[in-house]
Amino acid sequence: MVELTIVVPIYNEVENLERLYRAVTDAVQPHAESYEILLVNDGSSDGSYEKLEELAGLDSRVKVMHFEKNCGQTAAIYAGIKHANGRYIATIDADLQTDPNDIFTLMPYMKDYDFANGTRVRRQDSLVKKVSSRIGNGVRNWITKDRVQDTGCPMKLFKREVGESYVLYEGFHRFLPTLARMNGFSVVEVAVTHRPREYGASKYGVLDRAFVGLMDAIVIGWLHKRSIRYKIRGE
Ligand code: UDP
Ligand code: MG
């Protein structure tokens, strides 16, 4: 079993792939004895396919999966998690808005926690995005009865048991810490760095997330309320 799997969902990120590979490798190599970079191509049509194949050909630690068509970010992350060989699984976005070095800001917390969620303390996005995200986090926490500051932060690290416990539906990648807690795992939030997107474009507008995100939160709230939790006497 490898020590660490880095899962990256990729949809039309061709300008980012080379630098992503270099940044992740530079960050991980000094720390992890064995690792794999699992790049999940969510049906890109911009040349990401060819670039990913090239990277996989150069380095056996790079594993690529190509979806037949675009299935969404949750599907890409889910496929990555379910195919990961690592004892620990890190997720990041392809755009390098979070710094792969922060995987090792989170790693020490694996001693006492099962899931470490990054918090983008100085978030480098547009004001509209920051405000909508803050409102989104507030509404999500209110509905799901959780208290996650930055559930959408792409930088996360968790134990493989957490990944094994997930049953995800489209949109659920925004609730991974809450779902981990619901499945009985401990969660910690840790400040990480954030930078502006340098290449490529964001795949989301503000409004496409607002309404669907609200519906998703209601579903998660319902799942939380209806979760079955029992303990057998004497066990
Ligand atoms: N992504 C994906 N499938 C999609 C949309 C996005 O795999 O249908 C990937 C994208 O390539 C990136 C990550 O998910 O690595 C987050 O997307 P983006 O950076 O556009 O979102 P933002 O950070 O702007 O919220
Ligand atoms: Mg991004």
For the four alpha carbons of 178, 179, 181 and 182, in that order, the dihedral sign comes to positive
What is the residue with the minimal CA distance to atom 23 of ligand 1? 202
Q: How far is the CA of 205 from the centre of ligand 1 (A)?
A: 11
Closest-approaching ligand to the CA atom of 74: 1
In-domain check, residue 231: no
pLDDT at 213: 86
Q: Which residues surround ligand 2, an ion (CB under 5 A)?
A: 93, 95, 97
Amino acid at 14: V
SS3 labels along the chain: CEEEEEEEEECCCHHHHHHHHHHHHHHHCCCCCCEEEEEEECCCCCCHHHHHHHHHHHCCCEEEEECCCCCCHHHHHHHHHHHCCEEEEEECCCCCCECHHHHHHHHHHHHCCCEEEEEECCCCCCHHHHHHHHHHHHHHHHHHCCCCCCCCCCCEEEEHHHHHHCCCCCCHHHHHHHHHHHCCCCEEEEEECECCCCCCCCCCCHHHHHHHHHHHHHHHHHHHHCCCCCCCCCC
The domain that holds 124 is classified in CATH as 3.90.550.10
**In a domain? residue 234:** no
| Residue in the block written with tokens 């056996």 | 60
Would you state the pLDDT for residue 124?
87
Ligand nearest to the CA of 78: 1
182 falls within a domain: yes
pLDDT at 206: 73
Instruction: Answer whether residue 179 is part of any domain.
Output: yes
Mean pLDDT, the chain, whole residue set: 95
- Beta sheet of 115-120, edge-to-edge order: 62-66, 35-41, 2-10, 86-91, 156-159, 115-120, 187-192
**Residue 141: inside a domain:** yes
Within a domain: residue 233?
A: no
Residues in the chain, pLDDT under 70? none
The pLDDT score that the predictor gives to residue 132 is 86
pLDDT in tens, 56-86: 999 999 999 999 999 999 999 999 999 999 9
Residue 205 is predicted with a pLDDT of 77
Per-residue pLDDT at 210 = 78
pLDDT digits (tens, 9 = 90+) for 112-133: 999 999 999 988 888 888 888 8
CB 92 within 8 A of CB 100: yes
What is the bridge-based pairing of β-strands 35-41 and 62-66? parallel
Phi-psi domain of 167 (left: phi exceeds 0; alpha: psi -120 through 50; beta: other): beta
Mutate to test the pocket of ligand 1, among 203, 206, 212 (most ligand atoms within 8 A of CB): 203
pLDDT of res. 195: 95
Tell me, yes or no, whether 232 lies in a domain: no
Residue 19 pLDDT: 97
Query: Residue 91 has which token pair?
Result: 């997720």
| 226 CA → ligand 2 middle, Å | 33
User: In the chain, how many domains are there?
Assistant: 1
User: Any idea which ligand is nearest the CA of 11?
Assistant: 1
The pLDDT, as a whole number, for residue 129 is: 86
Q: Which pLDDT score, from 0 to 100, does residue 211 have?
A: 83
Residues with CB under 6 A from ligand 1: 9-11, 13, 42, 70, 72-73, 76, 93-95, 97, 202-204
Closest atom, ligand 1, to C-alpha of 9 = 7
Pocket of ligand 1, candidates 46, 51, 93, 155: which has the most ligand atoms within 8 Å of its Cβ, to mutate?
93
pLDDT of res. 16? 97
**What's the pLDDT score for residue 207?**
74
In a domain, 219, yes or no: yes
Domain that holds residue 110: 2-226
The pTM score is 0.96
